[in-house]
Amino acid sequence: MELPFAESYKIKMVETIKRSTREEREKWIKEAKYNLFNLRSEQVFIDLLTDSGTGAMSDKQWGAIMLGDESYAGASSYYNLKNQIKELLGFEYFLPTHQGRAAENVLFSALVKEGDIIPGNSHFDTTKGHIEFRKAKAVDCTIDEAFDTEIDHPFKGNVDIEKLENTLKKYPVEKIPFIILTVTCNSSGGQPVSIENMKAVRKVADKYGIPVIYDSARFAENAYFIKIREKGYENKSIKEIVHKMFSYADGMTMSSKKDAIVNIGGFIALRSEELFKKATVFNIMFEGYITYGGMAGRDMNALAQGLDEGTEFDYLETRIKQVEYLGKRLTDFGIPVQKPYGGHAIFVDAKKFLPNLPKEQFIAQTLGVELYLEAGIRGVEIGTLLADRDPETHEERYPALELLRLAIPRRVYTNNHMDVIAVALKNVFDRRDKITKGFQILSEAPIMRHFTVELKRV
């Protein structure tokens, strides 16, 4: 008999989580003005709000914390991380930052000017935010297949090379400071980019003389999908694939809170000394001195160790199989989810789940609240609230997809938790015909409203 699959780690420390009653949750979510961000963590049983900074560090990472060097300049922890980045990712230069958006802030301060165009694949919100804040424009060149949750394409994060080339042809080269490639693509469902596509992006970029920067938050999960799905890579190690991926990039921004399995941290890594020097000025201004940026020495140590562990096949297999396990259970219940399953999350197609609800009543948010009421599970809306109003007309922007993202923290929950999530969502699914009313806005911020929006039931 073939042995069943089991996690590639055992548990050394635990944290208590508490169940609650439906009555308690009714009260708490009402007090939270039906915004899941306003809940206290104790009011949540299983927290799937994000996989960012919520992972469990290993014994070796905690050990590395104790060896952190907190010297202001020239700390050994900095050199430890620098060596790891050079060895694993192949970049000579690096700058530590406190998280991913800080890396974007620093690098874009050096590269982006008003009126610039930055083509990419479904730019993440903070990336787009840092582009638009500088009065530049993000042009999405993701393949069309990404926007249909039912099409089973192995690399839904891929760039449509024709869309990219048309963008590069349309604007003068001086207006395009770089192309940004997000690996994996969070906004399109944790979907990977193939090596073949990375090569093709590089080729077009070289033709026009434009650098390529990777938004690398989930680069290791991307490498896992390449190994599993792309011909020619099945026998390569994750670390070899990672090296190959970054060989097509001029630089990267990193939110270490994801695939490097730390609770805080980020960095910029670059090939060009000239760009490194330019970015250094902004890093010192916004983050901190060159050899610590926005990080403590101990956190750089944990990050260096996390980069190594996070690119081990056994860990990644455990991680991605857990996400897939949840995806399969939901599919077996007939619940509409994005396919193929993403690396870090399952995305529930809320429009298909609640077809009776008008789009003006925030469909994915309504589903998120229902799931919380059902079992104290907190997901996050990726829909109309997140999409914000049009900055000029102030009209609602209704996105093509209304999704409820269930992001799975790394090494935190067991498959028993996945079972609770699946059954809770099934119970909501069974009573979906009765969910005919959603929400309306009580108050909202002018941008990034989803974090603080206050709602009431229609």
Q: Is 375 a catalytic residue?
A: no
213: phi then psi, degrees, rounded to nearest 5: -115, 135
Taking CB under 6 A as the criterion, the residue among 69, 215, 230, 349 binding ligand F0G is: 215
Spatial separation of the C-alpha atoms in residues 329 and 344, rounded to whole Å: 16
Which positions from 124 through 153 interact with ligand F0G, judged by CB under 6 A?
124, 126-127
Rounded to a whole number of angstroms, the minimum distance from the CB of residue 218 to ligand F0G is: 7
Rounded to a whole number of angstroms, the minimum distance from the CB of residue 364 to ligand F0G is: 15
Spatial separation of the C-alpha atoms in residues 249 and 129, rounded to whole Å: 22
Spatial separation of the C-alpha atoms in residues 330 and 10, rounded to whole Å: 26
Rounded to a whole number of angstroms, the minimum distance from the CB of residue 266 to ligand F0G is: 5
Element of type H or E holding 424: helix 415-430
SS3 state of residue 267: strand
Using CB positions, name the residue nearest to ligand F0G: 100
DSSP string, 156-198: TT-B-HHHHHHHHHHS-GGG---EEEESSBTTTTSB---HHHH
Among residues 5, 60, 72, 321, the one annotated as catalytic is: 72
Spatial separation of the C-alpha atoms in residues 453 and 243, rounded to whole Å: 42
Q: Is 124 a catalytic residue?
A: yes
Helix axes 161-170, 195-208, angle to 10 degrees: 20
Q: Within a 10 A sphere around the Cβ of 307, how many other Cβ atoms? A: 26
Determine if 47 is a binding residue for ligand F0G (CB under 6 A). no
Determine if 266 is a binding residue for ligand F0G (CB under 6 A). yes
Quick note: the x/- pattern for ligand F0G over 268-307, rule CB under 6 A, is ----------------------------------------
Q: Of the candidates 295, 306, 299, which has an alpha carbon nearest to the alpha carbon of residue 98?
A: 295
Q: Is 450 a catalytic residue?
A: yes
Among residues 47, 51, 140, 215, the one annotated as catalytic is: 215
Q: Within a 10 A sphere around the Cβ of 433, how many other Cβ atoms? A: 9
Rounded to a whole number of angstroms, the minimum distance from the CB of residue 162 to ligand F0G is: 24
Determine if 217 is a binding residue for ligand F0G (CB under 6 A). yes
**Between 7 and 132, CB nearer to ligand F0G:** 132
Taking CB under 6 A as the criterion, the residue among 255, 291, 301, 322 binding ligand F0G is: 255
Determine if 34 is a binding residue for ligand F0G (CB under 6 A). no
**Cβ contacts of residue 45 below 8 Å, gap of 6+?**
17, 18, 19, 20, 375, 376, 377, 420
**Between 323 and 357, CB nearer to ligand F0G:** 323
Quick note: the x/- pattern for ligand F0G over 50-89, rule CB under 6 A, is x-x-------------------------------------
**Between 104 and 165, CB nearer to ligand F0G:** 104
Q: Is 215 a catalytic residue?
A: yes
Among residues 98, 123, 227, 258, the one annotated as catalytic is: 258
Q: Is 72 a catalytic residue?
A: yes
**Between 320 and 435, CB nearer to ligand F0G:** 320
**Between 141 and 435, CB nearer to ligand F0G:** 141
Q: Do 402 and 360 form a contact (C-beta atoms < 8 A)?
A: no
Q: Are strands 212-215 and 179-182 parallel, antiparallel or unpaired?
A: parallel
- Candidate ranges 39-47, 122-130, 163-171, 369-377; the one touching ligand F0G (CB under 6 A): 122-130
Helix axes 297-309, 59-66, angle to 10 degrees: 150
Which tokens go with 362? 């925030």
Taking CB under 6 A as the criterion, the residue among 58, 99, 158, 322 binding ligand F0G is: 99
Taking CB under 6 A as the criterion, the residue among 58, 186, 194, 338 binding ligand F0G is: 186
Rounded to a whole number of angstroms, the minimum distance from the CB of residue 330 to ligand F0G is: 20
Determine if 257 is a binding residue for ligand F0G (CB under 6 A). yes
Spatial separation of the C-alpha atoms in residues 128 and 122, rounded to whole Å: 9
What distance, in Å, lies between the first and last C-alpha atoms of the chain? 55
Query: What residues make contact with ligand F0G under the rule CB under 6 A?
Result: 50, 52, 99-101, 124, 126-127, 182, 186, 215, 217, 255, 257, 266
What positions carry a catalytic annotation? 72, 124-125, 215, 217, 258, 450
